[in-house]
A = this chain, B = another copy of it.
Amino acid sequence: MSTIAATDRTQIHRIPARGSYDRDVVHAILDEALVCHVGFVHQGAPFVIPTICVRIGERLFVHGAAASRMLGTISDHALCVTVTLMDGIVLARSAFHHSMNYRSVVILGRGTDVTGREEKLAVLEALVEKIAPGRSRDVRGPNEKELRATRVISLAIDEASAKIREGGPVDDEEDMGLDVWAGHVPVALTARAPIRNGAENGRIPPVLARFSVPPEKTNS
Q: Which residues of B contact A40 (CB under 8 A)?
A: 46
Question: What chain B residues lie within 8 Å of A202 (beta carbons)?
Answer: 179-181
A167 to chain B, nearest CB (A): 9
Contacts of A203 in B (CB 8 A): 181
Q: Check if A196 is an interface residue, CB within 8 A of chain B.
A: yes
Report if A140 contacts B (CB, 8 A): yes
The answer to whether A192 and B188 touch across the interface, beta carbons within 8 angstroms, is yes
In the complex the two chains form, is A178's CB within 8 Å of B94's CB?
Answer: no
Given contacts A34-B89, A68-B14, contact A176 B190 (CB under 8 A): no
Considering only CB atoms, which chain B residue lies closest to A89 in the complex?
A: B131
Q: Determine whether the beta carbon of A48 is less than 8 Å from that of B80.
A: yes
Q: Is the CB of A50 within 8 A of B104?
A: yes
A156 part of interface (Cβ distance < 8 Å): no
Check B142–A95 contact: CB distance below 8 A: yes
Residues 170-214 of chain A, each 1 if its beta carbon lies under 8 Å from chain B, else 0? 010001101111111111111111111110011111011001010
B78 touches A45 (CB 8 A): yes
A1 at interface, CB cutoff 8 A: no
Interface contact A182-B196, CB-CB below 8 Å: yes
Say yes or no for A19: interface residue by CB 8 A criterion: no
A47 to B48, CA, bound (A): 9
Contact call B197/A183, Cβ cutoff below 8 A: yes
Task: Tell yes or no: A114 within 8 A of B by CB.
Answer: no
List 28 interface pairs A-B (beta carbons < 8 Å), by A numbering: A14-B67, A14-B69, A37-B37, A37-B48, A39-B46, A41-B45, A41-B46, A46-B47, A48-B81, A89-B132, A93-B139, A95-B142, A98-B131, A168-B195, A168-B198, A176-B198, A179-B202, A182-B196, A182-B201, A183-B195, A184-B194, A185-B195, A186-B192, A187-B189, A187-B190, A188-B192, A189-B190, A190-B190
Ranked 5 nearest A-B pairs via Cβ? A39-B48, A168-B197, A39-B46, A48-B82, A50-B84
